[in-house]
Structure 1
Amino acid sequence: MKFNSFFPVIWTRNFEETVGFYIHILKFSLANANSETQWAFLEKDGVRIMITKPNEHEKFDKIAFSGSFYFNVNDVNDLWQDLKTITKICYKIETFEWGMREFAIYDNNGYILQFGQPVTEISKEK
């Protein structure tokens, strides 16, 4: 058996605001959406996420995800410059002992979004 793909489903009570955050702030594209059911499928550079209102079969009082969403990017320093003044920061950009340069922000719902790049991939010219 082979797994073909993996992408998160982000629950929100603020559907339009959340879609707007991922499209306007993180520059995802809207691949498909149904405003009646409040469901959207977004893509960027092969990364896919779904945004939806909470499933009626689940209790959803507040965010209950106990982790973060981690994005590997090809220019973490430039992305930091783009996002640091327009988003709520979880932690500022830094280089970690395990060889990653990373930072984290919160989306409009409070989900933690981390962005990282291996230091071996970062150009020495910058």
Structure 2
Amino acid sequence: MESLSPNIFVNDINETIGFYELLGFKVTMSVPETGRDLVWAMMTNGSVTMMFQTFSSLADDLPEIHRTDGGSLLLYINLKNIRAFFEEIKNKVTVLKGLEVTFYGATEFSVKDNNGYVLTFAEHE
């Protein structure tokens, strides 16, 4: 295995793109390639790649894919310069847990994305 790129199901792709752009992600690919009626988008920031797809785009093929907002998913994202990143975004997003040093030596903070997912950012100094 070489990498993991989650494909996260969302209700509104454009709203999700807007949220992740606040975190420094950029759209690298989408379906369709242009326009606002997207059903899938890939976004990257550094070496982190995440994909987002609408529930409705797979409703016929995979009806098992469904949930209410705030599903049981936490994405753990390692980065450098966590304090500067926190200061840059803290007033733009919903912070669930501010900067703290954990018992295992990582500096972390957690935010809630526009779909109810939890993102924990960490720096292992």
How far does residue 67 in structure 1 lie from its aligned partner after superposition? Answer: 3.1
Give the whole-Å Cα distance in 1 for the aligned partners of 2:39 and 2:18.
Answer: 13
How far does residue 102 in structure 1 lie from its aligned partner after superposition? Answer: 0.4
Query: Which residue in the other structure is 1:47 paired with?
Result: 48
1:104 counterpart letter in structure 2 = S
Moved more, 11-20 or 34-43: 34-43
1:13 counterpart letter in structure 2 = N
How far does residue 10 in structure 1 lie from its aligned partner after superposition? Answer: 1.3
What is the percentage of aligned positions where both structures have the same residue? 27
Give 5+ residue unaligned stretches, structure 1: 122-126
Give 5+ residue unaligned stretches, structure 2: none
* Correspondence 1:37-116 to 2 at 5 A: 38-54=39-55, 55-56=58-59, 57=62, 58-63=64-69, 65-116=71-122
Determine whether 1:10 maps to 2:8: yes
Runs of 4+ in structure 1 over 3 Å off: none
Give the whole-Å Cα distance in 1 for the aligned partners of 2:111 and 2:38.
Answer: 28
Count residues with an aligned counterpart: 116
Show CA shifts across 1:80-120 (max 9, x none).
Answer: 111211111111111111101100001111100000111xx
SS in 1 for 2:4: coil
Give the whole-Å Cα distance in 2 for the aligned partners of 1:64 and 1:110.
Answer: 4
How far does residue 61 in structure 1 lie from its aligned partner after superposition? Answer: 3.8
1:53 counterpart letter in structure 2 = T
How far does residue 59 in structure 1 lie from its aligned partner after superposition? Answer: 4.3
Q: CA RMSD in A?
A: 1.6
